[in-house]
Amino acid sequence: MATYSVIIPVYNEALVIRETYRRLKTVMEQTYEPYELLFINDGSTDETLEILRELAVKDDTMKYIDFSRNFGHQIAITAGMDYASGQAIIVIDADLQDPPELILEMIERWKEGYEVVYARRVKRKGETVFKRWTAYVFYRLLRAATEIDIPVDTGDFRLIDRKVCDQLRYMRERSRFVRGLVSWVGFRQTAVEYEREPRFAGETKYPLKKMIRFSLDGITSFSYKPLKLASWLGFLLSAASVVGMFVVLYLKWFAHSTVAGWASLLMVMLLGNGVTLLMLGAIGEYIGRIYDEVKERPLYIVNETWGVGTKHERKPS
Ligand code: UDP
Ligand code: MG
């Protein structure tokens, strides 16, 4: 049984894995306590798995889980939590944007009695203006939309206690937004601050499409506000149309002039249809997720594992 489990999701990270391994190793040796490095290979198509195998045969602390295909970053983290055996579990990105050295500071906080220590980025280096800007807007939007207190500018780089991990393992929801779930379970939480480094090598595995999906997962998992927006917009548009009706009738009966032609008509129709479709889309986002939930498929499928015991099927007591 390890004291610390470090969970590292990897997707086509052949260029960075060796360096990540080396840096993590150096840091974890400084704890003088047993630890495990648990890599989750999220269906990589490059040599990631070969490198993991090569490292694992030489090192007992090195373990991995190999997915049958790409299931996504958040699911990979979840699998890591399912298999981790440590008393404290640390989640870190593979690309060294999150400095492994910060783990020591997190561990100190954990020993002071905090169950969740998350890392807040005070600065992001080497990321595009677009990424920084979208991330900035996303965290504020999420904060405005949800009732629970999800800290801003905080990724999944964090340390959680075994207690928190066990609670998270109870939650098998599919559209997972792990950092939200961690806030949701509560316990004593604190932050350490860091400056986000540029990627060590390779490129981001979060293209715009995945980013949008991820943001929608975050908002829909923790808020009904988009649905409430539909009723409010409906109310507003109906009110506006009643006023409009009176104006038109007044003009026709008393001013004997009618507003000309189809331009105005078309505008109103397009606006109405646009809003309706938009709101249908919002409802669709929720229905799609309900559909995913009721199918109750497993969250991920494992192809091969190394070094880990059987998945903790035991429910937390
Ligand atoms: N990742 C993953 N599955 C995916 C996408 C990403 O396991 O489908 C991993 C990736 O290998 C990295 C972490 O998630 O360790 C964060 O991804 P990335 O650094 O590309 O995201 P960014 O920092 O650009 O937001
Ligand atoms: Mg990154």
Spacing, Cα 97 to ligand 2 middle (Å) = 6
Ligand in closest contact with the CA of 207: 1
Atom of ligand 1 nearest to the CA of 205: 20
For residue 311, what pLDDT is reported? 64
The pair of three-digit structure tokens given for residue 150, joined into one six-digit string: 């999800």
Q: Of the residues 73, 90, 153, which should be mutated to test ligand 1's pocket, given the most ligand atoms within 8 Å of the CB?
A: 73
Residue 11 CB less than 6 A away from ligand 1: yes
Residue type at position 281: G
Spacing, Cα 285 to ligand 1 middle (Å) = 24
Residue 9 CB less than 6 A away from ligand 1: yes
292: how many CB neighbours lie within 10 A of its CB? 13
Give 82-138 as a 3 state SS string: HHCCCCEEEECCCCCCCCCCHHHHHHHHHHCCCCEEEEEEEEECCCCHHHHHHHHHH
Spacing, Cα 13 to ligand 1 middle (Å) = 9
Please give the C-alpha separations between residue 109 and each of 28, 159, 282, 294, in angstroms, as whole numbers: 16, 9, 41, 39
For residue 317, what pLDDT is reported? 42
For residue 312, what pLDDT is reported? 58
State the ipTM, two decimals.
0.94
Q: Considering the entire predicted model, what is its pTM?
A: 0.83
Ligand in closest contact with the CA of 69: 1
Per-residue pLDDT of the chain (317 residues; tens, 9 = 90+): 788 999 999 999 999 999 999 999 999 999 999 999 999 999 999 999 999 999 999 998 999 999 999 999 999 999 999 999 999 999 999 988 889 999 999 999 999 999 999 998 887 777 778 878 888 888 888 888 887 777 877 888 999 999 999 999 988 888 888 888 898 898 999 999 888 888 888 888 887 888 888 888 888 888 888 888 888 988 898 899 899 888 888 888 888 777 677 777 888 888 888 888 988 998 999 999 999 999 988 899 999 988 887 665 545 54
Residue 218 CB less than 6 A away from ligand 1: no
For residue 15, what pLDDT is reported? 92
Please give the C-alpha separations between residue 22 and each of 38, 91, 94, 201, 218, in angstroms, as whole numbers: 14, 17, 12, 15, 33
Spacing, Cα 11 to ligand 1 middle (Å) = 6
Residue 95 CB less than 6 A away from ligand 1: yes
Spacing, Cα 283 to ligand 1 middle (Å) = 29
Ligand in closest contact with the CA of 8: 1
Q: What residues are paired with 179 via a beta bridge?
A: none
